[in-house]
Amino acid sequence: MAHWPRGMHMTQTGALRQENRHTSLGLTDEQVVAMYETMQIARKFDERAHLLQRAGKINFHISGLLQEPPQVAMAFALDRERDWFLPYYRDYAFVLSVGMTVRELMLSMFAKAEDPNSAGRQMSGHFGCRRLRIVTGSSPVTTQVPHAVGFALAAKMRGESSVSIVSFGEGSSNQGDFHEGCNFAGVHKLPVIFVCQNNQYAISVPFSKQSAARIADRAIGYGFPGFRVDGNDPLEVYRIVKEARERAVAGEGPTLIEIMTYRVAPHSTSDNDLAYRTKEEVEEQRAKDGIPKFRQYLTGLGLWSDAQEEALLQRIRKIIDEATAYAEQAPFQAEEDVLRYVYAEDEGGR
């Protein structure tokens, strides 16, 4: 039997034709195009951030390269008006998808006062923005998992049909907070979606040294479903997250999702990854990149063209150039404000 890429089927004339997978998932053509555009914005932003760090313009970058397709898919499966988002430090594509702008992200790269995440107080990749329902995060990994459970508990107590979704890496899945959070949510059937972005490395330690079993299977121990999904297939990620959200708002409790992906960049700009893995391994994984495959999918359906691609890349370059220029010249937080907001400053609690 012939093997051809997933989603392709053979017509009567023998030509391969792209099968439409997104309409049955409830996604419009405009939405899948928007998903693709967001993946590319995130990709180009990430690449620019690397260059800026190498050029000495910014101090630090921690990359989400190759993880953009599943991150965008997750966000598109959620409700931006109702849900609560608890991303982890590689979730650039995710926060872009829920409304953060390239300029805002660039302001955080340059650690400037206008950065909505922290006014430049935190390292980049430490997201948080109340307006966008993105919950502030920190550097000790996995602390956000019980927080997501707390948001879900609040939603349940108030009878709101919202879910919280929380990202973390496969290394994080070994922290007590992962287990404690999952167990709590399982007991009380809370509307929370746990997303492990398994990119195969916790800095230098490979997945085989982090866990002897699939992360998704841990869900069994907490009494809710767990799924493993190919991160390079964003439509499948979308389906799994959407179904998890439907179960959550129906009162059926949490879901654990293990997204299989790969960290093609070093852990951060402070890491030399070739000290613990080979270029060949990285290149083999890079070839599985979900972005060109998704473009191929859209092109196959007549939803995308080379001309559109070129126009998109031009538009993105302009957005990133402008954001970079803006952020570079923007002021840092004033020195007199550096020690503010340890406690509330006014009667209203702000």
Q: Which two tokens stand for residue 49?
A: 């951030």
Binding footprint of other proteins on the chain (CB under 8 A): 84, 116-119, 121-122, 126, 128-130, 135-136, 138, 140, 143, 145-157, 164, 176-177, 180-181, 183-184, 187, 333, 340-345, 349-350
Give the residue with the Cβ less far from other proteins, 178 or 201: 178
Quick one: 198 exposed, middle or buried, by C-beta within 10 A (0-12, 13-18, 19+)? buried
User: Of 39 and 148, which CB lies nearer to other proteins in the complex structure?
Assistant: 148
Shortest Å, Cβ 114 to other proteins: 10
Q: Which of 276, 295, 326, 340 is catalytic?
A: 276
Catalytic one of 48, 61, 126, 263: 263
Q: For residue 194, which of 127, 240, 230 has the smallest C-alpha distance?
A: 240
What's the closest the beta carbon of residue 270 comes to other proteins, in angstroms?
Answer: 21
Q: With respect to other proteins, which residue has the nearer C-beta, 156 or 288? A: 156
CB of 99 to other proteins, least distance (A): 15
H-run or E-run covering 283: helix 279-286
Which of these is catalytic: 61, 133, 147, 267? Answer: 267
For other proteins, which is the closer residue by CB, 43 or 103? 103
> Looking at the chain, which runs of residues are DSSP E strands?
8-10, 16-18, 84-86, 164-169, 192-198, 201-202, 205-206, 226-230, 255-260
Nearer Cβ to other proteins, position 56 or 331? 331
Our answer to whether residue 247 is catalytic in this structure is no
119 phi-psi bin (left φ>0, alpha ψ -120 to 50, beta other): left
Give the residue with the Cβ less far from other proteins, 78 or 119: 119
**Cα–Cα distance list, 13 to 5, 16, 17 (Å):** 18, 9, 10
Letter for the amino acid at 234? P
Does 276 participate in catalysis according to the annotation? yes
The nearest distance, CB 90 to other proteins, in angstroms, is: 19
CA atoms of 294 and 330, how far apart (whole Å): 36
Consecutive H or E run containing 54: helix 29-54
Phi, psi (deg, nearest 5) at residue 287: -65, -20
CB of 166 to other proteins, least distance (A): 9
Considering the complex, what minimum distance in angstroms separates the CB of residue 119 from other proteins?
Answer: 4
Q: Is 26 or 140 the residue whose CB approaches other proteins more closely?
A: 140
Q: Which residues contact 257 (CB under 8 A, 6 or more apart)?
A: 193, 194, 195, 196, 216, 226, 227, 228, 229, 237, 240, 241, 244
Catalytic residue check, 267: yes
Minimum CB separation of residue 325 from other proteins in Å reads 23
- Using an 8 Å Cβ cutoff, are 125 and 109 in contact? no
Q: What is the DSSP letter of 273?
A: G
Q: Characterize 107-139 residue by residue with b for buried, 16 or more Cβ atoms within 10 angstroms of its Cβ, and e for exposed.
A: bbbbbbebbbbbbbebbbbbbbbeebbbbebee
Catalytic residue numbers? 263, 267, 276
